[in-house]
Structure 1
Amino acid sequence: MTLKICFIFIILFFYGCYINKISANEECQLSRNNDMVDDCNCYISDLNQLNNQRLQPLLRQIVKKNYFRFFPVNLKKTCQFWPTDGQCSLRTCAIKSCPIEKLPETLRDSFNNNKLNRLINTKQDEQNNEIQCSTIDTNSTLGLVDTNLSEEHKKTIENWMKFDDVQSENFCDVDDETSTNLEYIDLLANVERYTGYTGISTQRIWSAIYNENCFFLPDSKLYYELRQKRLNANKLCLEGRTFYRLVSGLHSSISIHLCAQYFFPILGGGYSGTDGRWAPNLEEFKRRFSPERTDGEGPIWLKNLYFIYLIELRAIYKARDYLQSQTYFTGNQTDDLHTKQLITNYLLKEIEPFANHFNENDLFKNGNEQLKVGFKEHFHNISRIMDCVGCDKCKLWGKLQIQALGTTLKILFAENPIQLQRSELVSLINGFTQLSTSIYRLEHTFKTCLKKNTEL
């Protein structure tokens, strides 16, 4: 009899757990279905479905292509705003730069005027070289690169070398691709993840970035008001809300990447050691986003991730004619064609139904050109603040994602036909992929942390 009662109790216990789990998931899902992205006519649940089922696998393919995997960046610029605290010496802060001689020759020479003639006059019977960066921490190689150039490819290279004549349309500083301090970074070998770079330095960086929005809120520190006193962003004008939500959404995305790939050193090893493991840190995620630890603000910050995602999606689609005209040339004809097909036949078609949920024409109405100039100047300052980051890997991804956002705004507010440098296009696609991965992580890595009473 006792055994029978125990058996019934066990069944009821697990049944109760099962029902509670279903109930929690249902409430969470209902909350998501009923929640819309602020200032955008789009449900978060629809974006989750688009991103996690269709775009995320597609974007992962695209950023592995030779055209998009190498990003030119100058990590040696001087901080213009305050004396720096020196460089982070942690092993996890270091990057693996790809030596220029290991890059595909067509890509390498496209940034060097002095070598262009030699590249164009390459003999047709020149043998292909196998390209492989010795520092790449992956199992795959770059593949064979054909250095023989057709007339179409020569024109492509010339377009890469053109600096955008319409400088007034830039919303961020773009590193000079002819600088002697420029490095070519293989993004696949330097993924964005936790580095141990924390403390006063990072707080000063983010505080400076948020405070660049102060011109929308006179005589106040927006960072303090919005992040500490819970000032309702809806009290700002549309331009101010847009600025804040873009920065907040990017901040959330970066935080998710750090939480998803967090380094747990062995006991006593620290971050300068070589032993440890990379894994999601659920406790760190809760610290950054749970309502209990953020005075209820965490879910709002996560919602802003969907806002910046939708804005960058909008820009990619608006630039569709430009994207369709590109050859994505690296010299490997098969790979280049596949890259173009992924962009033209798949990415642009997938995002089309979601491309009109934000109308940039609602910004800077009534001929308020001065507000637009201020908006642009402050984004320029944010890109310059990235030069003050003391961690090379953090700086790399910060510069890339700020440039992606600057390129997004450049596309949305361009008054002339779009002309992008290659680095802008690379940053745009990689930056959007980072946002996509963050949304994917919310569903597949941190779903257990998204409690039923959150707004997501």
Structure 2
Amino acid sequence: MISFKLTYLCIIVAIISAACAVGNKSKLKVKKENLLNENGCFCKLQGEVDDCSCKVKSIDSLNNHMVYPRLKSLLSRNYFRYFKVNLNKVCPFWSDDSKCAMRNCAVNICPEDQLPDGLKKTSTKNKYTEESQEDCQGDDLGYLNTTISQESEQAFENWTKYDDAQETFCEMDDDTSPHMKYVDLLLNPERYTGYKGISPHRIWNSIYNENCFKAPEQPAYNPQALTDYTLEGLCLEKRAFYRMISGLHTSINIHLCHQYLFPATTCYGKEEWGPNLDEFQRRFDHTQSNGRGPQWLKNLYFTYLVELRAIAKAAPYFEEEGFFTGNDEEDMDVRQGVKDLLKVVKEFPNQFDESKLFIGNKKEAKALKVEFREHFRNISRIMDCVGCDKCKLWGKLQVQGMGTALKILFSGDGMGPMSTVNAGSKKKFQLRRTEIVSLFNAFGRLSMSIHAIEEFRKLLR
């Protein structure tokens, strides 16, 4: 009897041990799959940034702990939240024939008095807005909120007078246009709008196919792959140009993945904004992007270093800037916040070194610099072809911010990590308000993207 019980007990223990072993193997398999997935997106986010001496890990630490929290606070201030832009310029390359996708909120027509103000002005009958027993939430995801308070409108008049009194370095193309309007960036965050299909594909295809440099022996880019081509055979300047654009493209895609609209799970539920891990992996996972996604993520870090270096180089200028809005207390807080950020930026070693660009044969270097500038100007014009107002707003802002960074890098007392602009005299260098606002907000978008990468990394774990 005792022997039978012992045998029975041994059998039970064996079964439990086997079950535990299977469970452990299952957990190990899950962990292994998670590791493979993480490596699938982030396998190249290690070591040094291409064509730079700075390590990815150092940038992650600087940005996520020092830069991002400072920028997030600073960009919520009035000086940086209002961006003056012309969204009515006609596309100079083709006729825009597409609009941002819109969402259905329910089944029945939405009452007129429940429509958002912006939609009332454009259409009294909208097939995409439906009636519901709850308050209607059926607005266009690409709808641009142009609400500006009366107090802000009055303050803008003083801002314009202040700008006009300054000696400018160059004239912005649209600055005197009657179509230039202030937009509140906090009311119009960059996030998923549903803008997809032929129109955005044509935008990026035109940027990469017609404006990015390529080696003479390379064929035309594959329209389906967009950025799928090798940089072999390109000089440093042309590689830098491509990586900046690719990094910008990557940053924009990260914003769309990080602020994604999830549909309601029930009939009476509400949509929710949040990070979409599946969408992030679809765009950047090694296996789902034909091996290109991880390099795109690394290009983001290159673009970040370029704009970081521009802000560091223009630090003497920004330390003298008044950041005028008419509110003395807030202006003083902004100046202090900017100085705090600049201190962090200036102390970061191994920044992008612009002195390595456009050297060698003077004639060839000069011609390349002109070509570099013309290509970038063309990309800024392509932004007027974007078919979604909110996408166009953020596209124009970020391209203008990058253009301002390039303007800073190739101006001033010299080239290289120790050179500056406006070291003691505002007469040597000048930035308009829109250039300053676009530069800081563009850098803020890159900063947010790198911060979001860490969040996606944690989600994968």
What TM-score comes out, normalization by structure 2 length?
0.77
The counterpart of 1:358, out of the listed 347, 352, 360, is 352
Give the structure with higher Rg (CA).
2
Partner of 1:262: 260
Q: How does 1:275-290 map to 2 (within 5 A)?
A: 275-290=270-285
Given candidates 303, 308, 311, the residue that maps to 2:298 is 303
Tell me the equivalent position of 1:110: 159
Render the CA deviation track for 1:406-452: whole Å, top value 9, x for unaligned: 000000011573210101101111111110111111111354459xx
Counterpart for residue 246 of structure 2: 248
1:164 aligns with 2:168: yes
Secondary structure of 1:445 counterpart: helix
| Equivalent residue, structure 2, for 1:50 | 62
Question: Do the aligned partners of 1:246 and 1:307 also contact (CA within 8 Å) in 2?
Answer: yes
Q: Are residue 62 (structure 1) and residue 74 (structure 2) matched?
A: yes
1:227-276 superposed Cα distances (whole Å, 9 cap, x missing partner): 4684321431111101100000000000000011111234799xxx9952
Aligned with 1:315 (options 310, 335, 348): 310
C-alpha separation in 1, matches of 2:143 and 2:158: 26
Matches of residues 60-209 of structure 1 in structure 2 within 5 Å?
A: 60-88=72-100, 90=102, 91-99=140-148, 101-103=150-152, 105-111=154-160, 116=161, 157=162, 159=163, 162=166, 164-166=168-170, 174=172, 176-209=174-207
Quick one: structure 1 residues 233 and 163, their matched pair in 2 at CA, closer, same or farther if it must change by over 3 Å?
farther
Return the TM-score normalized by structure 1: 0.78
Sequence identity (%): 44
Tell me the equivalent position of 2:398.
Answer: 401
For each residue in 1:360-382, what CA deviation from the matched residue of structure 2 results, as whole angstroms up to 9, or x when unmatched?
Answer: 11111132211111110111111
Question: How many residue pairs were aligned?
Answer: 395
Match of 1:383 in 2: 380
- 8 Å CA contact 1:290, 1:298 repeated in 2: yes
Q: Tell whether the 8 Å contact from 2:401 to 2:438 is kept in structure 1 after alignment.
A: yes
| 1:340 pairs with 2:351 | no
For the residue of structure 1 that corresponds to 2:190, the secondary structure is coil
Distance 1:81 1:440 in 2: 35
- What amino acid is the match of 1:176? D
Unaligned 5+ residue runs, structure 2?
Answer: 1-8, 103-139, 414-427
SS across alignment from 1:184: strand
Deviations 1:46-100 (A, max 9, x none): 1111111121111100101111111111100000001111443630001111337
**Secondary structure in 2 aligned to 1:385?**
helix
Q: Is the 8 A contact 1:98 1:184 kept in 2?
A: no
Structure 2 counterpart of 1:147: none
SS in 2 for 1:410: helix
Whether contact under 8 Å (1:100, 1:184) holds in the other structure is no
Deviates more, 1:189-198 or 1:256-265: 256-265
Q: Give secondary structure in 2 for the equivalent of 1:71.
A: strand
Give the one of 318, 324, 331 matched to 2:326: 331
Unpaired segments ≥5 residues, structure 1: 117-156, 168-173, 451-456
SS at match of 1:189: coil
Counterpart AA for 1:60: K
2:99, 2:265 → 1: CA distance?
A: 25
C-alpha separation in 1, matches of 2:319 and 2:16:
65
Q: CA deviation at 1:354?
A: 3.1
Q: Matches of residues 432-447 of structure 1 in structure 2 within 5 Å?
A: 432-447=443-458
Q: Does 1:421 align with 2:432?
A: yes
Cα pair distance change 1:59/1:415, threshold 3 Å: closer
Amino acid at match of 2:144: I
RCO comparison, higher one (Cα < 8 Å, 6+): 1
Checking the alignment, whether the CA contact within 8 Å between 1:38 and 1:307 is kept in structure 2 is yes
CA RMSD of aligned residues (A): 3.2
Q: Is the 8 A contact 2:100 2:193 kept in 1?
A: no
Q: Tell me if structure 2 keeps the 8 A contact 1:163–1:421.
A: no
On the 8 A contact 2:208/2:226 being kept in 1, the answer is no
Aligned 8 A contact 1:315 1:408 in 2 = yes
Deviation at 1:188, TM superposition (A): 0.9
